[in-house]
Amino acid sequence: MSSPSTAGTLRVEPMIGLEWSQAIEQWGGEDATVPAQARRSWLHRAPEQQVVALYQRIRTADPTAPAPWWLRAIAAGNLDTRVEGFAVEDRTAKLLSARTGWVYVPWNTDGDSGFWEFVPSERRLTEPGVPTTLMLTDRHPGWLDVYPAHSGKTPDPMPVRGLADLRANLAHLEALPPA
């Protein structure tokens, strides 16, 4: 039974999951050829402190909530700002866009930053599969992982120690045999 002071009072509780899904919703970036063209979500434009605070709240409710690599890195204290994360994405885009065969795929999971595929690597597969793929990650401070072309089970990622390492080893990565 409710007390007289609360009888008939509407009680509203925040629905953090719905709020987060709206924050990461990607719209209008499906034709992006570089990450900067896909940065249209609320979490890309809203004040960074507000984005991080909301992310920390959703992680309390759902530790596996989807989020871009740079936001996970900021929350873990491994990256200082969203702008630094965008710079990693943009420098990677500049390097790979200048090379033949690399294609940016703007969709991945909700809230993620997309990934790059080296399309010619598909020719080395004996059955349909996934080309060599480069993904941004918060797993290590190099921020980049490569997955060799493969069919079937996804191989373990190969960490790249940053953009200089990617630049120095790009020809090797493009020539990786299928996993």
Residue 87 makes CB contacts below 8 A (sequence gap 6+) with none
User: What's the rounded Cα separation, in Å, for the pair 154 and 98?
Assistant: 27
Please give the residue that has the higher pLDDT: either 92 or 25: 92
The three-class DSSP label of residue 116 is strand
Look up the pTM and report it: 0.87
Please give the residue that has the higher pLDDT: either 19 or 103: 103
Give the pLDDT confidence score for residue 13 in this predicted structure: 52
Please give the residue that has the higher pLDDT: either 52 or 3: 52
Position 79 pLDDT exceeds 70: yes
User: What's the rounded Cα separation, in Å, for the pair 55 and 123?
Assistant: 40
Residue 26's pLDDT band (boundaries 50, 70, 90)? confident
User: What's the rounded Cα separation, in Å, for the pair 169 and 30?
Assistant: 29
In terms of average pLDDT, the best of 15-19, 109-113, 136-140 is 136-140
Written as one letter, the residue type at 168 is A
User: What's the rounded Cα separation, in Å, for the pair 136 and 159?
Assistant: 10
Percent of the chain with pLDDT over 70: 92
pLDDT in tens, 35-55: 999 998 899 999 999 999 999
User: What's the rounded Cα separation, in Å, for the pair 110 and 62?
Assistant: 14
Give the pLDDT confidence score for residue 110 in this predicted structure: 72
Position 121 pLDDT exceeds 80: yes
Residue 10 makes CB contacts below 8 A (sequence gap 6+) with none
Mean pLDDT to the nearest integer, 59-63: 91
| Greatest pairwise CA separation for the chain in angstroms | 74
Give the pLDDT confidence score for residue 134 in this predicted structure: 98
